[in-house]
Structures are given as structure tokens and as C-alpha cells.
Amino acid sequence: MIAFVLLIACLPLLAVIAALIRIFMGPPILFRQQRPGINGQPFTIVKFRTMLEDCSLPESQRVPRLGRFLRRWSLDELPELRNVLHGTMSLVGPRPLLMEYLERYSPEQRRRNEVLPGITGWAQVNGRNMISWERKFELDLWYVEHRSLRVDLKILTLSVVQVLRKAGVNQSAQTSMEKFTGTALGDAAEKY
């Protein structure tokens, strides 16, 4: 219900963003990609496109000013409300990673897929894309073990604060996190 209300409330903003992407970056407006959902089952995530289609450019040059703006304010994530309405995502949960990472997870890391992936999550409000993969998995597993309405409300509140402060956004030339190649996971039961 919350996702439906947010989607309706954001329709004018969604229309403006779509028009800007069409004008300054060209089609397609949306980015679609298979991601692992609950129990690792694939689903199609839908986001606003933030990168140019020209794969011959280095990644740092493929994200134009508009794309950086959308990422910095997390506006590229708004179409994921559609995924929430379809039941493939939740407002809160571990962020859905790439399908290719599934085979690299340790048995403990695989537990992050015991819940629906989220638009925001505990790792996002504790460092976003500025933390290591090990830390991200620890935070995701903490969420799996401690999820509750109270925790979700806290994460949603902190997410709004993070976006307004632009905290945890990687401002370096590298526009995305490094690829996950597999890691040893420490004690995920640690309390945060």
C-alpha cells in the first residue's frame, strides 16, 4: 500500500525524470536487469537508466551529469516501487545484487536471499556503496536475523536522512562498486 501511494505521489517527478533522460541521454529511459530475489529466484529489476549506451567508453565517462545527479539523490531507484507492487521486492531488505554473484556466496552469505530484496536496507544506511563487500554482507545478514517493523521503520527514516545528506555515495571516478569475487565472511551475528 505504501509503495502504491508513493508511486502515485511521485508520478509527476517520474514523468520529469523520464523526459530528461529521453532528451539528454536518449532511449531507453528504463534500465532492466535480472537480479536474484527471495531464495535466489530471478526477477527483473527496473530503474531509471543512468549510463550511456556506448560501451567503448570507460565506466567513469559513461555516467553523464544527469546520471550522477539521479544516483546521488537515489532518484534512479524510484521505478523499483513497481517491483514492490509486483511482490518481487520490498521497501526494506538487502539490495539485490547481480545474478553472477550467487555462485560466489558462502553458505552464510546465501542467507541474505532468505528475505525479499529491498529498495533500501541496513547496509545502505550504514555506508551505502562506500563499505567493503564483507561489511555489506555482515549488515545484510544482521538484517535477516533482526528484521521487524521497528527495524524497517528505522531503516526507512535513516534512508531519507542519508539521501538528503548524500551520505555514503561514492564520489570518486569509479562510479560503481568493484565486482564481488567471493570473500570469507566473519561473524555475521555481531550486533550493530
Query: What is the DSSP secondary-structure string of 114-136?
Result: GS--EEE-TTGGGTGGGS-HHHH
Q: Give the pLDDT score at 190.
A: 43
Residue 103: inside a domain:
yes
Weakest-pLDDT range from 106-120, 124-138, 148-162, 165-179: 165-179
Sorting pLDDT into bands at 50, 70 and 90, what band is 135?
Answer: very high
Total structural domains within the chain: 1
Q: What is the CA radius of gyration of the chain?
A: 16
Residue 183: inside a domain:
no
Q: State yes or no: cis peptide before 12, omega within 30 of 0.
A: no
Domain of 114, in residue numbers: 2-165
Residue 190: inside a domain:
no
List, for residues 17-29, the tens digit of each pLDDT value: 999 999 999 999 9
Give the number of other CB atoms < 10 A from CB of residue 32. 12
Instruction: Give the number of residues written for the chain.
Output: 192
Residue 175: inside a domain:
no
Residue 170: inside a domain:
no
HSE-CB at 48 with a 13 A cutoff on CA atoms is 28
Average pLDDT over residues 143-147: 97
Residue 161: inside a domain:
yes
List, for residues 79-114, the tens digit of each pLDDT value: 999 999 999 999 999 999 999 999 999 999 999 999
HSE-CB at 85 with a 13 A cutoff on CA atoms is 12
Residue 31: inside a domain:
yes
Residue 181: inside a domain:
no
| Percentage with pLDDT > 70 across the chain | 89
**Which is more confident, 131 or 55?**
131
Question: Among positive and negative, which fits the CA dihedral 111, 112, 113, 115?
Answer: positive
